[in-house]
Every structure is written in C-alpha cells, then in structure tokens.
C-alpha cells in the first residue's frame, strides 16, 4: 500500500510566498531596478505613465452618468470606478513597466544597504519623468481621439470636474491623500510580490486599488493625466483651471506618495523582516 501524498507533494507552489520571502524578493527586485540602463528605464516608465492613464480614462468613463439616466449610489459608483482604474496597475505589473509610486518600495533595498542613495534618486527621477511623458502623451492622444465627446460631451465634463476637484484641494488634504494613496498602491505591489500566478497578481491588485480610488486618495502619476486633460478642456470656457494650482497639487501629492510608500510600507516591512538584530 502506498502512502497518501502530503498536501505539499500534491502542489508545492499553491500558496503565496510568506512575508519574509516577499521582503527578500522586494530587495532583489529593487537592486535590479536601480541597475537598469537609463534608456530602458525611461522606456518602461513611459509605458507605465500610459498604462496608468488608460486606467484613469477607464475610470473617467465609468464615473460619467448619461444626461438622461440616473446614476448609481455614491459608494457603488466609486467602487466601480476603482475596479476599472485597477486596469492601470494590472498593466504595469503583468505587462512590465516602471511606475514611480511602486518604485518607492526600493527604499527597502536602500535600508538593507544593497543599493546606494544616488541609485535610488536616479531611478526615481528618471522614472518620474518617464511617467510624466507617458501620461502627457496619452492625454494628448485622448484629446485627438475625441473621447471627451462621448455621451454627448458628458465624459469631457467629467474630465474637467475631476481636475477641478483636485486643484481645489487644500495643501494638507492633498498631501495626506497622497500618503494614504501610496500606502495602498505599495501594499498592492507588495501583495503581487507574494503571488505565483497572473490571476493571483490581478486579484491582489484590485482590492487595494479600488479602495484608494473609492476613498478619493491622490496618485501623482494619475494626476499627470487628469490635470493636463482638464486644463486643456477648460481652457476655452468661462472658468479655466489654474496651471499653478495643478503644479501645486502634483508636488504635494508626489511628496505624500513618497512618504506613504517609503516610510509607511517599505521601511516598516524592512524593520519587521530585514533589520539586523543587535547582538545579545
């Protein structure tokens, strides 16, 4: 009589990587990211800016109610918008791209000591600029495609309303929403590092990203798409949007994203799993 196989023997890779292994994998990936050649880094960053913008566009269409039809209740509509926005990070993670907010997790590799400060700064600067180029280029293509005319112009009105709402945020709110946003984005990336299949990664992304969108938190790369688009569409109207207000929002949200991703996720997990214990 043969012995029954153990669960591990049946499927030894069914479970996700445990958190200590995730931490080690994040450090390994962080080292790979900072040593990527600059041209490759920029190209992947442009892709990420475009991917997040496509998710933001999907969100915008989802949030638009037809002029003659009733809308969903507030919470359900926000949740639906969050699910559609998740497309952006799914494309980044599964398709492969360099996203500034997700790359804040490189701070864990920096804390361990396997990457240098200048390498982290170099990666963040080039990736941020690449994300900006990808998001701006996607916004231009959206305008040229006339997506703003959908639903008798209601989609365009939603685009302007989104940008106007972001510019109207007071500095403290913009900064705090940036922090909270990237806590959830980096947690989504962290969970993806524990996944073993594409389906696992997608499922790991959807809930944290839906939460940050539904709660109205602020993502710097998404705002690189929303703000120029809203400014361009409102330029010929009676209430144009402030370019300086948009720049102020982007700066504050970016700083908040950095704090949320590095301090509240990367460095916390470094402290828990990777710090060197003092000798007794």
Q: Which tens digit of pLDDT belongs to each residue from 2-53?
A: 455 544 444 555 688 999 999 999 999 999 999 999 999 999 999 999 999 9
Query: Which of the four CATH numbers 1.20.200.10, 3.40.50.920, 3.30.70.141, 1.20.1080.10 does domain 16-64+73-274 have?
Result: 1.20.1080.10
223: tokens are 């705002």
> Cα separation of 120 and 26, whole Å?
14
Confidence at residue 276, expressed as pLDDT on a 0 to 100 scale: 78
Over residues 95-118, mean pLDDT: 96
- Asked if pLDDT for residue 73 goes beyond 60, the answer is yes
Confidence at residue 62, expressed as pLDDT on a 0 to 100 scale: 94
CB 221 within 8 A of CB 135: yes
Confidence at residue 239, expressed as pLDDT on a 0 to 100 scale: 85
Span 229-269, pLDDT tens digits: 999 999 977 789 999 999 999 999 999 999 999 999 999 99
Confidence at residue 35, expressed as pLDDT on a 0 to 100 scale: 96
Span 130-145, pLDDT tens digits: 999 999 999 999 999 9
Residue 218: DSSP 8-state = -
Confidence at residue 9, expressed as pLDDT on a 0 to 100 scale: 46
Confidence at residue 68, expressed as pLDDT on a 0 to 100 scale: 47
- Asked if pLDDT for residue 58 goes beyond 80, the answer is yes
Mean pLDDT of the chain: 92
44: tokens are 């992947």
Confidence at residue 74, expressed as pLDDT on a 0 to 100 scale: 79
> Cα separation of 255 and 206, whole Å?
24
pTM: 0.92
193: tokens are 């590092």
> Cα separation of 205 and 172, whole Å?
27
- Parse the chain into domains and list their residue ranges: 16-64+73-274
């Amino acid at each position: 009589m043969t012995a029954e196989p153990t669960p591990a023997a049946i499927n030894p890779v069914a479970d996700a990587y445990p958190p200590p292994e995730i931490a080690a994998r994040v450090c390994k990936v962080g080292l790979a990211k900072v040593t990527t050649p600059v041209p490759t880094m920029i190209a992947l960053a442009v892709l990420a800016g475009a991917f997040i913008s496509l998710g933001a566009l999907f969100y915008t269409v989802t949030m638009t109610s037809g002029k003659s039809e009733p809308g969903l209740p507030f919470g359900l509509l926000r949740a639906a918008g969050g699910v559609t926005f998740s497309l952006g990070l799914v494309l980044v993670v599964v398709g492969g791209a360099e996203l500034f907010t997700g790359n804040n997790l490189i701070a864990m590799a920096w804390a361990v000591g396997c990457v240098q400060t200048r390498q982290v700064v170099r990666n963040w600067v080039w990736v941020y600029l690449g994300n900006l180029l990808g998001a701006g280029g996607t916004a231009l293509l959206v305008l040229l495609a006339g997506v703003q005319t959908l639903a008798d112009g209601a989609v365009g009105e939603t685009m302007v309303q989104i940008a106007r709402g972001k510019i109207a945020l007071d500095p403290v709110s913009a900064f705090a929403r940036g922090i909270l946003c990237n806590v959830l984005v980096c947690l989504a990336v962290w969970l993806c590092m524990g996944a073993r299949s594409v389906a696992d990664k997608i499922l790991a992304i959807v809930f944290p990203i839906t939460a940050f969108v539904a709660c109205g938190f602020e993502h710097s790369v998404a705002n690189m798409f929303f703000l120029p688009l809203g400014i361009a569409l409102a330029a010929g109207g009676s209430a144009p949007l402030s370019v300086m207000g948009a720049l102020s929002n982007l700066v504050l949200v970016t700083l908040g994203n950095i704090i949320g991703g590095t301090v509240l996720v990367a460095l916390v997990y470094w402290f828990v799993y990777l710090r060197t214990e003092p000798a007794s």
